[in-house]
A and B are shown apart, each in its own frame.
Chain A
Amino acid sequence: MLLFPTMLTELFNLQEQQPEARIMAGGTDLLVALRHGPQDGRTIICLERIDELRRIDELEDGSVSIGATATFSSIARNTLLKERYPLLTQAAATVGGPAIRNMASIGGNIVTASPAADSLPALYLLDALLELRSAAGSRAVAIAEFILGPRRTMLQPGEIISRIILPPANGWSIQRFEKVGRRKSLAIAVASLAAALRLAADGSVAEARFAWGSVGPTVLRCAEAEQALIGKPLTEENLNAAALLAQRAVQPIDDIRASADYRRSVAGNLLLRLVA
């Protein structure tokens, strides 16, 4: 059975009646997983016709709210996001190919919690808050707390992500997303880097934030690499020093896409792209 609620209240009623039902947004993870698993006939509740889950708007305090079922193509196109959070725009534009981006949602990307999920490094750096809703009410959780591990989140039964809230961007001078995959598109990242830097008037680094994807069980931050750049100009030499620290901090694995050593070296080299 496939159900298409159009309102959140309707969704929560359906979930209460059928607690075993699966939730589907774009289906690009769920349907692939179901194809590989046994057919169990569980109901699927689709979120795609709930309009309020799709909207991207600015809130009164200057934050931006992104509905959980917003697709990566709508995120990549959105001018408000492009202006304030180009980091997320760039990350959204690297997900899969155009058809995948027309289907895949940011909420689905978060809930799947793959170590290679392209929205996550950007959401960590931008201090994204997730609004979780259920019949019982709503709560807000920071993205870094929500993700418990690879493919594990704190989402409770009967709960959905309703929206993602990005606090006002605090004057970043540079926001960049860099990704290396095995081929240019569709490629799940071998390693990715989200970077946000605030530069002082003299061009030296006042604040640096880095988050890597695909080089650990979840998104990886490296305070040492961030600290190493403070007060220094953004040169190849300084970035190299930070890259060495990052390479020590990451915990990559070997898999069919790349070896751990290759991932480690790419993780460092991605930093150098900030001056390329």
Chain B
Amino acid sequence: MKIQCNLNGTPTEFNCLPDRRVIDLLREDLGLTGSKEGCGTGECGACTILVDGLPKLACLMLAAQLEGTQVETVEALQQTEQGRTLMAAFSEEGAVQCGYCIPGMEMASLALLRQDEPLTREQIKEGLSGNLCRCTGYVKIVDAVERAARVKGEG
């Protein structure tokens, strides 16, 4: 089946089985290996992508659901100022250890940064509550998002 969507800013058309999991479509068919599969059952958030701006889980979505949508994966971060600021903040705060959870964390964070109101630490924690990290204990990750939000406020 032919599926059309906007993928990381580029109109894209691909052929695949309609019930192919989006995580497999991205990683195996399209070579976008930034999104990770941790649990495959919605528990860990490593596969978080944005669909029409909303964080969703690529392990619990089927390819045909993407028809007509705007899809953003971690690969899109380097295309925008906001994305680059976010990635820089993660590395400057030392928020990355093994890195497995980071693509999902960053996509969930990106959705938070796009909100209009200033972000509180509590909102950041809540916004990342579906993303598990086995390494960092979360504090530095929250610091990183706070830092990116600060930069946004100054910019």
Question: Could you list which residues of chain A lie within 8 angstroms of chain B, going by C-beta atoms?
Answer: 1-2, 4, 27-28, 31-32, 35, 44, 46, 48, 73, 96-100, 102-103, 184-186
Contacts and interface: CB of A to CB of B under 8 A. Distances in A.
B15 to A, nearest CB: 15
B55 A99 contact: yes
19 contacts: A1-B18, A2-B65, A4-B67, A27-B62, A32-B60, A35-B40, A44-B62, A46-B64, A48-B65, A97-B129, A97-B130, A97-B131, A99-B45, A99-B54, A99-B56, A99-B108, A102-B54, A102-B55, A103-B61
B145 interface: no
B96 to A, nearest CB: 20
A2 B65 CA distance: 9
Contacts of B128: 97
B130 A186 contact: yes
Given A98-B129, A98-B130, A103 B57 contact: yes
Interface in B72-131: 108, 111, 126-131
Nearest to A2: B18
Dominant secondary structure of chain A at its interface with chain B: mixed
B35 interface: no
Interface of B: 18-19, 40-43, 45, 48, 54-57, 60-62, 64-65, 67, 108, 111, 126-131
B130 A99 contact: yes
A98 B127 contact: yes
Given A27-B62, A96-B130, A32 B41 contact: yes
Contacts of A31: 60, 62
A32 B19 contact: no
Contacts of B45: 97, 99
A245 B126 CA distance: 35
A267 to B, nearest CB: 24
B72 to A, nearest CB: 13
A1 B126 CA distance: 36
B130 A28 contact: no
A106 B81 CA distance: 37
B14 to A, nearest CB: 15
